[in-house]
């Protein structure tokens, strides 16, 4: 611990973002970095606690508390404070294969359980992490490191999202021949197509994919496992082990009158088509435009925010974000104590941009969509919303009830459904005859990841359900360890 009084001497300061009205004119990343002096001050705020909750990675009250991949946060905070950046990236890479991703898109449960945060603003862990890895790339410290010896074992990883990439990286380190299958035209899963470029530049994703290729990982794009071109049974015939990392890609729908109208789409359709168009340089067949339209986003999570930010950059006429839950409180409540994830009101980049452009936060709380209304040509023209209140039913569970007299008709030519995901697609699971849990996820015990079929493992959202990117990294790394143990009888992977 370089400065014992650092958390008393310095205030929490996040790096500046590009101004909202400037950044909405392009698709470039909007987060900036601190200079060296300010970065070291922020590193000095870390207390090097005797019991550092920041890297515990536990679920408390159903939410992540601390870092699920157990980043050695106090160690690299101290190294940054002392200016030892080369040593800091070595410590960071011990637990995290892709810190440039978590440093940008992770919600930072580590900060929610930071000990400084008990009675002061927590350490800027996420910003420091991002600075460490970005500097490491700039300095040329991140280089390919292929294994010196191969095991002769062949492993298939299905899905190239966060869980798939971390699985592949670890199994390749163990010396196995790894092939990653991806049905899209580019590698990265939601890192490539589910998260907009202004939050995670796709050049950074491709840079890491290229490094994995140099280390020996094989990538096969445009291949749908479970489809006619590659039945799932072939995996077991051609590989010694299989790790399923297909994600939870079945979106939650909105079964209302008017759902079939033109202009009603799932959020991922919208985000994927936009990113593909950006990468191609021309509108692709799956491109959906918000230009000149009144947009309503149904859902208040990260995906909904991404739809808001993307709609603004496309030139929407207006944007409204419908949230069925109440507005969170400004501060922790007694039933939400540290080190739980703080359930407090936050303004993310999309809402900040909407407020700057249109003069108000786009979110409408305690509201739901009641009807989708179209014109004579079948095009969406307006959305009927209604206020709700949460009441306990006969079983003691809270359920939403409409509030009489609160109906509103809102103009809309584009509705984006961002209400989360229900589970993995079932074709591969059916073909492999895998057991599933009550939520249709692959049944595999956390920490072991073995499915009901020997030699087939599952990790990430297809096993645990919709979750955080950092949990996918956690499960991918751990599934690689268990797959290695299955193949070799022992393992040295963490």
Give mean pLDDT, residues 357-370.
Answer: 98
- Examine the pLDDT at 336 and tell me if it is beyond 80: yes
- Same structural domain for residues 118 and 26? yes
Query: What does the pLDDT look like over 474-488, one tens digit per residue?
Result: 999 999 999 999 999
The more confidently predicted of residues 393 and 189 is 189
Query: What does the pLDDT look like over 302-325, one tens digit per residue?
Result: 999 999 999 999 999 999 999 999
Give mean pLDDT, residues 56-77.
Answer: 93
* Bridge partners, residue 408, by sequence: 385
Peptide bond into 459 cis (omega under 30): no
Low-confidence winner among 19-28, 46-55, 169-178, 397-406 (lowest mean pLDDT): 46-55
- Same structural domain for residues 277 and 364? yes
Predicted TM-score (pTM) of the model is 0.95
- Examine the pLDDT at 220 and tell me if it is beyond 90: yes
| DSSP output for 449-488 | -B-SSTTEEE-THHHH-S--HHHHHHHHHHHHHHHHHHHH
- Same structural domain for residues 258 and 399? yes
Give mean pLDDT, residues 125-140.
Answer: 98
Burial of 271 (0-12, 13-18, 19+ CB in 10 A): buried
- Same structural domain for residues 118 and 236? no
Tell me if 36 sits within 8 A of 206, measured CB to CB. Answer: no
User: What is the structure's pLDDT at 1?
Assistant: 62
- Same structural domain for residues 399 and 433? no
Query: What does the pLDDT look like over 224-262, one tens digit per residue?
Result: 999 888 999 999 999 999 999 999 999 999 999 999 999
Contacts of residue 176, defined as CB under 8 A and 6 or more positions apart, other chains included, come to: 150, 151, 153, 154, 155, 484, 487
Determine the Cα–Cα distance for residues 471 and 439; give it in Å rounded to an integer. 18
User: What is the structure's pLDDT at 470?
Assistant: 96
Determine the Cα–Cα distance for residues 369 and 218; give it in Å rounded to an integer. 45
Mean pLDDT (the chain, rounded): 96
User: What is the structure's pLDDT at 3?
Assistant: 85
- Same structural domain for residues 453 and 409? no
Residue in the structure block whose two tokens are 């809270």: 398
Does residue 1 form part of some domain?
no
* CATH number of the domain residue 451 falls in: 3.50.50.60
Where residue 396 falls among pLDDT bands split at 50, 70, 90?
confident
- Same structural domain for residues 340 and 427? no
Residue ending a domain, choose from 368, 389, 419 = 419
Does residue 298 form part of some domain?
yes
- Same structural domain for residues 367 and 261? yes
Count of domains in the chain?
3
Does residue 381 form part of some domain?
yes
Where residue 47 falls among pLDDT bands split at 50, 70, 90?
confident
Classify strands 380-392 and 367-374 as parallel, antiparallel or unpaired: antiparallel
- Examine the pLDDT at 342 and tell me if it is beyond 90: yes
Range of 185's domain?
154-250+422-488
Determine the Cα–Cα distance for residues 485 and 481; give it in Å rounded to an integer. 6
SS3 category, 32: coil
User: What is the structure's pLDDT at 51?
Assistant: 85
Tell me if 478 sits within 8 A of 449, measured CB to CB. Answer: yes
Give mean pLDDT, residues 385-394.
Answer: 94
Contacts of residue 61, defined as CB under 8 A and 6 or more positions apart, other chains included, come to: 336, 340
Classify strands 63-65 and 241-244 as parallel, antiparallel or unpaired: unpaired
Quick one: what percent of the chain has pLDDT higher than 70?
100
* CATH number of the domain residue 97 falls in: 1.10.1060.10
- Same structural domain for residues 224 and 321? no
Classify strands 363-364 and 318-322 as parallel, antiparallel or unpaired: parallel
């Amino acid at each position: 611990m370089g400065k014992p009084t650092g958390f008393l001497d310095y205030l929490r300061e996040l790096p500046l973002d590009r101004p909202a009205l400037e950044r909405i004119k392009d698709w470039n990343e909007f987060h900036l970095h601190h200079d060296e002096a300010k970065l070291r001050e922020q590193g000095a705020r870390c207390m090097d606690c005797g019991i550092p909750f920041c890297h515990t990675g536990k679920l408390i009250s159903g939410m992540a508390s601390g870092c699920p991949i157990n980043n050695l946060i106090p160690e690299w905070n101290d190294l940054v404070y002392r200016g030892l950046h080369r040593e800091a990236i070595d410590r960071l890479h011990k637990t995290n294969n892709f810190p440039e991703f978590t440093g940008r898109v992770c919600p930072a449960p580590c900060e929610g359980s930071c000990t400084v945060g008990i009675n002061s603003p927590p350490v800027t862990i996420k910003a420091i992490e991002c600075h460490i890895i970005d500097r490491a790339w700039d300095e040329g410290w991140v280089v390919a490191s292929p294994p010196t010896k191969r095991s002769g074992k062949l492993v298939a990883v299905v899905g190239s999202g966060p869980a798939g990439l971390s699985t592949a990286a670890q199994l390749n380190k163990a010396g196995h021949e790894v092939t990653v299958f991806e049905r899209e035209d580019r590698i990265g899963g939601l890192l490539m197509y589910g998260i907009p470029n202004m939050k995670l530049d796709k050049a950074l994703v491709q840079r890491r994919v290229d490094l994995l290729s140099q280390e020996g990982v094989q990538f096969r794009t445009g291949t749908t496992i479970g489809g006619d071109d590659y039945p799932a049974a072939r995996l077991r015939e051609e590989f010694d082990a299989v790790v399923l990392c297909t994600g939870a890609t079945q979106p939650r729908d909105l079964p209302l009158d008017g759902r079939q109208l033109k202009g009603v789409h799932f959020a991922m359709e919208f985000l994927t088509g936009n990113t593909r168009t950006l990468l191609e340089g021309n509108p692709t067949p799956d491109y959906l435009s918000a230009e000149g339209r009144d947009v309503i986003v149904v859902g208040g999570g990260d995906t909904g925010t991404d739809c808001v930010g993307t709609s603004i950059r496309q030139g929407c006429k207006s944007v409204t974000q419908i949230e069925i839950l109440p507005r969170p409180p400004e501060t922790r409540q007694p039933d939400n104590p540290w080190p739980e994830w703080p359930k407090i009101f936050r303004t993310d980049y999309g809402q900040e941009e909407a407020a700057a452009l249109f003069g108000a936060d786009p979110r409408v709380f305690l509201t739901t969509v009641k009807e989708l209304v179209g014109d004579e040509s079948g095009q969406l023209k307006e959305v009927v919303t209604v206020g709700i209140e949460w009441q306990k039913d006969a079983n003691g569970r809270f359920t939403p009830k409409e509030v009489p007299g609160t109906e509103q008709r809102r103009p809309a030519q584009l509705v984006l459904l961002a209400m989360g995901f229900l589970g993995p697609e079932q074709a591969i699971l059916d073909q492999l005859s895998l057991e599933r849990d009550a939520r249709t996820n692959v049944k595999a015990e956390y920490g072991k990841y073995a499915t009901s079929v020997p030699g087939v493992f599952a990790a990430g959202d297809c096993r645990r359900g919709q979750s955080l990117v950092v949990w996918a990294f956690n499960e991918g790394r751990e599934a690689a360890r268990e797959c290695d143990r299955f193949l070799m009888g022992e393992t040295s992977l963490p």
